[in-house]
A and B are shown apart, each in its own frame.
Chain A
Amino acid sequence: MTDIRREAPPEQGTPVVSVKDVDLNFAGVKALSGVTFDVNDNELFAIIGPNGAGKTSIFNVLSGVYRPQAGSVTFLGEDLLGKRPHVVAGLGMARTFQNIELFENLDVVDNLMLGRHHHLGYGWPSAVAWLGRAQKAEIRNRRYVEEIIDFLEIEPYRRMPAGLLPYGVQKRIELGRALAMEPKLLLLDEPVAGMNGEETEDMARFILDIRSELGIPMILVEHDMGLVMDLADRVMAMDFGRPVATGLPSEVQAHPEVIRAYLGSPDPEEVA
């Protein structure tokens, strides 16, 4: 049986991803300016900030959807700038989306199998002929997908079209699709947004399981401060596209700039 758990932890030391002085502009709008951070192996790195602070833009830069005007992004020693999204995905970057982006007409198994796209290892001629090679690859990858279905406890939904499932389950399937890629870095964009307490607890448990059992480093964007402060190893707070503070959750929470970004200045004259 294939096992989704990693056998040996990779070597420590170099950061998995390092972002340096990234600027991203849309015409006159500065979405990101001078964003710099590193994510180390086996680390859960959280990015917080008010709406429009540029959190999702960082994800789009990392996964190759946006191309920044300045700065550098290095992922496992490879320069990511200018690489197209499917190439970045091939390097081992997986993400979930803030608004669910599942393939709603396909069933859960097919959605997860799409996460295995890079691991299929057969081309269109084998697909058309459907001989031993394609069949074996499908079965091998299906086993892996079943491990993830088991891991995320979504067995009852296997053959349901993803679009018909409840919101909380869809979020979980999106996480499953990202995990199916065997990622080396996982980007989670608001994994518990709009969830009730029980669903949030479930998701927190899965995130902790991913870290302890699969050892995948993660970047988490989330507004649920309780979740962020409980789970994250380090936190970066952002405001208007600039990083305001980076450090341990307790440090960032107490940082005056962060409090100002969220709650405004205590002195009304300072705002003016």
Chain B
Amino acid sequence: MTSTRLRGRPLVRTSYAQDMSLLNTPAKRRSTILIIIVSFLVPFIVTDDLLLVLTLGMISAVGAIGLNLVTGYAGQVSLGHAFFIGLGAYTGAVLGGDTDASVTGYGLPIYIWLPAAGVVAALAGLLVGPIAVRLRGLYLAIVTLGLVFLGDHIFRESRSLTGGPGVGRRGPDLVIFGIDLEESGVVLGLDLAREQRQFFMALVFLIIFAVLGRNIARSGVGRAFSAIRDRDVAAAVIGVDLTKYKVMAFAMSSFFAGVTGALYYAVVGVFEPSAFGLLLSVQYLAMVLIGGVATISGAIMGALFISSLGRISGEIAHVLPFISESSSGSGLLSVFQLEAILYGVLIVVFLIFEPRGLFGIWTRVRNYWKGWPFSY
């Protein structure tokens, strides 16, 4: 079948392949290419400390896409995302980290520890998935909440793997294609600092996982997830195996979470078991809710936004005198309390005023300019 494109008629398609393609309008194609080019230029414009915030934001986006698969697309509310991230982080750290006085590490390369982190988390997701077959809504949320406490206990007690509370351990070593991302130096003729190298790594991984996420979403698998979310009885009656797809949603989501966990703490460096508490799960839910439920780009926006919230509250603390910049300082609030308050307020505000999240705001802006100068 020939597929031609008509100039000036972006919505006219002449083949189903065009209709299904990832970027199915010229505007989407142009803007995506522009965003990617700009993203690759960012490390040369932005200061190193801000670059680290963005790097961690992009790595978190992978996990947010994962949570969006199970919670946004398949509609299974999971508060256990922190547990899967923790599993990935420790799998990565044990396989890819170094042995020292207190913890074991095998020093394996990233080609092994990164997929392994995803797979171990996915296997845990496979085990948890069947619970979702029996429970739904709030009941499922409570059971997955239990996972976080289970994980917290396990991570605290297995000191030879995690270092234990208050001590922690280092994440895996970040060396890709012989390039050590924890050092500075010349790569491909460019003098790149550590933060710049890590930013590029995070950007490449984010693009890969965003495309994978979109593929899942637009395929029969993603449709089956959405069918279960909207009407589970009808989904079963038209032939969707509820057990299979709910378990699959958990496994896929956990794979993304595992990858995020391993990469995140490879960049951060030292981390301890208390990192994988309920707050982390809530942060990821906030990324999905504020970014946009059941959209990949929304999850990315949400993750970047939530990850920079610490930085934003720091800036606010600079301006407002009654907020202290450390937890012990004088003042009405500490910067950490402000950050926690902002999470809560933002979630409430978005759920009430823009349930479709940042993605919803974006579509509204887009539709306004599409019709401009007319009102619709």
Partner of B231, one of A64, A103, A137, A181: A103
Q: Beyond A101-B233, A143-B16, A181-B239, is A120–B212 a contact (Cβ under 8 Å)?
A: no
Contact yes or no, A130 B238, CB < 8 A = no
Q: Which of B212, B227, B236 contacts A103 (CB 8 A)?
A: B227
Contact (Cβ within 8 A) B216 A128: yes
Partner of A114, one of B17, B216, B233, B235: B235
Q: What size tier do the contact residues of chain A reach? A: 35 or more
Known: A94-B238, A106-B226. A65 touches B221 (CB 8 A): no
- Segment of B191-199, B240-248, B261-269 engaged in the interface with chain A: B240-248
- What separation, in Å, do the CA atoms of A94 and B17 have in the docked complex? 28
Residues facing B in A65-84 (CB within 8 A) are 65, 84
Q: Say yes or no: B238 contacts A181, CB within 8 Å.
A: yes
Please state if A122 and B236 are interface contacts (CB–CB under 8 Å).
Answer: no
A14 to B237, CA, bound (A): 25
B204-233 Cβ-contact flags toward A at 8 Å (1 or 0): 000000001001101111111011011101
For B229, the chain A residues whose CB sits under 8 A away are 105
Query: What are the interface flags for B293-304 relative to A under an 8 Å C-beta threshold, 1 for contact and 0 otherwise?
Result: 010000000000
Query: What residues on A are CB-neighbors of B252 within 8 Å?
Result: 124
Say whether A89 contacts B223, CB under 8 Å.
no
B234 adjacent to chain A (CB < 8 Å): yes
Complex Cα distance, B235 from A138, in Å, reads 19
Q: How far is the CB of B28 from chain A (nearest CB, A)?
A: 15
Q: Which residues of A contact B216 (CB under 8 A)?
A: 124, 127-128
**A150-187: which residues lie under 8 A (CB-CB) from chain B?**
177-178, 181
Docked Cα-Cα span, A90 to B241, in Å, equals: 10
Residue A95 lies at the interface, judged by CB distance under 8 Å to chain B: yes
Interface string of A119-145 (1 = CB under 8 A from B): 010101011111000110111001100
Residues of B within 8 A of A63 (CB): 237
Q: A103-B226, A138-B220 are in contact. List 13 more A-B contacts (CB 8 A).
A: A84-B236, A103-B230, A103-B231, A103-B235, A105-B230, A114-B223, A114-B238, A114-B240, A118-B239, A124-B221, A124-B252, A181-B238, A181-B239
Q: List 21 A-B contacts (CB under 8 A).
A: A63-B237, A65-B233, A85-B233, A86-B236, A86-B242, A89-B238, A102-B230, A102-B231, A103-B226, A105-B294, A113-B220, A113-B223, A120-B220, A122-B219, A124-B248, A127-B222, A128-B221, A130-B218, A135-B17, A142-B16, A143-B16
CB-CB nearest 4 A-B residue pairs? A127-B219, A89-B239, A101-B234, A103-B230
